[in-house]
Amino acid sequence: MSLDFTTLDLLRQNHPAWRLLRSDHAPLVASFLHRVFVAPNVRVMAQADLAEALEDELFGLRERLGEDAFPKPALEYLNDWAGNDKAWLRKFYVQGSDEPHFDLTPATEKAIAWLGTLTERAFVGTESRLLTLFELLKQMSEGSETDPEARIAELHKRRDEIDAEIARILSGDIPLLDDTALKDRFQQFMALARELLTDFREVEHNFRALDRRVRERIALWDGGKGALLEEIMGERDAIADSDQGRSFRAFWDFLMSSRRQEELTELLDRVLNLPPVAELRPDARTRRIHYDWLEAGEHTQRTVAQLSQQLRRFLDDKAWLE
């Protein structure tokens, strides 16, 4: 995206994240939504529960700041935050319930994540990020190499390096990461782990946007039903086979492996018990971060399945077919 004046001016006027940061109520909105949705990894909350939590928050603020600080009822604030002019919350009805539910919009989560980067950090690591970038470049280079001899040569080189490392360890030379390197890598891990959770809401948002475009195409279609069905089914395949769909499926397949889950649990337990990492006082939820990924992924899977079912019902509507 080009960061020219016109683009930034349009973003300032129209983007929900920028509107949140400009709002006089930004401290209330960001702190409350972070505590209720982001920190505990909650994806959906019923209106009554969310309004009750906000009412408690407002009561505490009025005690400190005076009765005029936030004069409106909690539900009025929630509906205001979910309005099209703000779009900080998504208000919707879940299947089988007549009570409204709320979730964060991706823009709100981005704004909250950015606010978290403004605080001063006692330690800023750079080595692990450089190593991650270098490893990504290697993977892209090796994964796109079509010459069999070149790939075999690279594998031989890697095998020689492993053999040399085994020989060093057998001779008593065991290289260990120092405390600084451990803290650096753990900070990088936590940043990526949080970003991954943030990405799920954007993935869901993009799937819903694709679904809306399909429905608009159905509503405006003036050709034959056979051609429409062919067009729509092709669009559903395009959603599943898009870059985002394939990436999400690969992530899900990897994480659904019981062997991978056990490995992640063991690795997290071992790393969190290292003294240098314990000094950083990581959040207690870090020990189950992979289960948070699973919960968020399951919610995204359910959303995609629901969209497919709703689209089928939309296509099967008798009145429309007649």
In this structure, are 206 and 276 located in the same domain? yes
In this structure, are 32 and 75 located in the same domain? yes
In this structure, are 23 and 138 located in the same domain? no
In this structure, are 145 and 249 located in the same domain? no
In this structure, are 15 and 39 located in the same domain? yes
In this structure, are 199 and 244 located in the same domain? yes
The pLDDT value recorded for residue 231 is 64
pTM reported for the whole predicted model = 0.72
Boundary of a domain, candidates 98, 116, 134 = 116
Number of domains in the chain: 3
Boundary of a domain, candidates 95, 116, 137 = 116
For 36, 147, 173, 300, 301, the CA distances from 203, given in Å and listed in that order, are 21, 35, 46, 8, 10
For 34, 135, 142, 162, the CA distances from 151, given in Å and listed in that order, are 47, 16, 7, 17
Rounded CA gap, 38 and 285, in Å? Answer: 12
The pLDDT value recorded for residue 55 is 95
* Token representation of residue 71: 């004069």
In this structure, are 59 and 79 located in the same domain? yes
Distance of CA 175 to the CA centre of its chain: 36
pLDDT, block means (10 residues), the chain with 322 residues: 87 93 94 94 92 95 90 94 94 87 93 86 69 80 86 90 91 87 87 83 79 73 65 60 73 82 89 90 85 82 73 60 53
> What does the DSSP 8-state code read for residue 263?
H
In this structure, are 317 and 181 located in the same domain? yes
In this structure, are 171 and 212 located in the same domain? no
In this structure, are 23 and 100 located in the same domain? yes
Rounded CA gap, 129 and 280, in Å? Answer: 18
What counts of helices (H) and strands (E) characterise the chain? 15, 3
In this structure, are 170 and 135 located in the same domain? yes
> For the chain, what's the residue count?
322
Rounded CA gap, 50 and 104, in Å? Answer: 12
In this structure, are 171 and 195 located in the same domain? no
Residues 6 or more apart in contact with residue 5 via CB below 8 angstroms: none
The pLDDT value recorded for residue 318 is 43
Rounded CA gap, 33 and 51, in Å? Answer: 12
Q: Sign of the C-alpha dihedral, residues 279, 285, 288, 294? A: negative
Strand partners, 101: 46, 92
Question: At how many degrees (to 10) do helices 179-219 and 243-255 cross?
Answer: 130
Distance of CA 118 to the CA centre of its chain: 20
| Residue 219 exposure: Cα atoms within 13 Å on the Cβ side | 6
The pLDDT value recorded for residue 319 is 44
Residues 6 or more apart in contact with residue 179 via CB below 8 angstroms: 275, 276
Question: Which residue range(s) make up the domain with 229?
Answer: 177-321
Domain harbouring 95, CATH code: 1.10.10
Boundary of a domain, candidates 175, 195, 210 = 175
For 23, 167, 186, 205, 254, the CA distances from 170, given in Å and listed in that order, are 62, 5, 28, 53, 33
